[in-house]
Amino acid sequence: MASEDLSTAIRAALRTADPRAKVMATRALVRRWRKGELAHAFSVTMPDRPAWPDYLELRPPGQMPKRGKGGSDRNRQALWHSLAHIEFVAIDLALDMAGRFGGAMGRAFVGDFLSVAADEALHFALVDRKLHSMGLRYGDLPAHDGLWASAQATAHDVAARLAVVPMVLEARGLDVTPAMIERVRAQGDEHGSRILERILDDEIRHVAVGARHFKDWCHKAAVPTDSAWISLVKEHFAGVVKPPFNDSARLAAGLSRTAYGALA
């Protein structure tokens, strides 16, 4: 019999600042949800911001140091630290999606995004371990706040959140990761390339989850999917949808080439 409701557990994980503790809290709540130990109820609201380590220096994206593409130790550390930050914030993005919108969107929506959160927790753990092997910890370098800014801009509207976070921000990862894999492999880091391949495979599925629920929302709202997506991205995304695109990965994730091509 479920004694605690889902929103309370999600909020607690979002309010966990220590990176490893957040990973453990996320895994634990997903296990409890799958076992039926958390009631599908939403008694508390989600925080405006999740808790992050107080030693993490956040900068606007435009003030981040330029990262080189060479194989120097400094460039490699900057790359993996950037990936660690993306995966850490992705845990909170998936948790917030389930906790903020799950009451209205239903159990299948909740289950999908909790599965995404569990994957992101695993990704962060893999990248964090990689960072430690390089003599670094997450938070040793500055990070930008652009990902959560997009979450805040879409906190009022599940369609906008789906359009921007999985279908723009995560989809961008599908475009840039293959070249990153080749660059890391060319530097002789086969272990790193395998981590990135695992992340890419999972991210195709994550984008597909977002695209599927967005299409379902459009169907229920009786609006055309492509034009609704284009309109929401124009309204709520401050960045640019830019090529080159990984069309095969985007197709596998269910994204419309007509739609993203119209914004390129």
Range name among 142-151, 164-173, 250-259 with the lowest pLDDT average: 142-151
What pLDDT score was predicted for residue 67? 66
Q: Is the pLDDT of residue 114 over 80?
A: yes
Neighbours of 258 (CB within 10 A): 9
> 149-180: per-residue pLDDT in tens?
999 999 999 999 999 999 999 999 999 999 99
What pLDDT score was predicted for residue 94? 98
CA distance 98 to 116: 10
Evaluate the CA torsion angle 45, 49, 50, 51 in order and state its sign. negative
CA distance 43 to 135: 42
What pLDDT score was predicted for residue 158? 98
Task: Check if the beta carbon of residue 155 is closer than 8 Å to that of residue 97.
Answer: no
Q: Is the pLDDT of residue 2 over 90?
A: no
> 191-242: per-residue pLDDT in tens?
999 999 999 999 999 999 999 999 999 999 999 999 999 999 999 998 899 9
- What is this structure's pTM? 0.95
What pLDDT score was predicted for residue 1? 45
> 22-79: per-residue pLDDT in tens?
999 999 999 999 999 999 999 999 999 999 999 999 988 777 777 666 668 888 999 9
What pLDDT score was predicted for residue 62? 74
Supply the DSSP symbol for 47. P
CA distance 135 to 130: 9
Residue in 222, 217, 225 with CA at minimum distance from that of residue 106: 217
What pLDDT score was predicted for residue 59? 86
Domain boundaries, the chain: 1-46+72-143, 145-264
The overall average pLDDT reported for the chain is 95
Q: Is the pLDDT of residue 123 over 70?
A: yes
What pLDDT score was predicted for residue 69? 63
> 87-113: per-residue pLDDT in tens?
999 999 999 999 999 999 999 999 999
Interval 118-137 mean pLDDT:
97
109 class by beta-carbon count within 10 Å (0-12 exposed, 13-18 middle, 19+ buried): buried
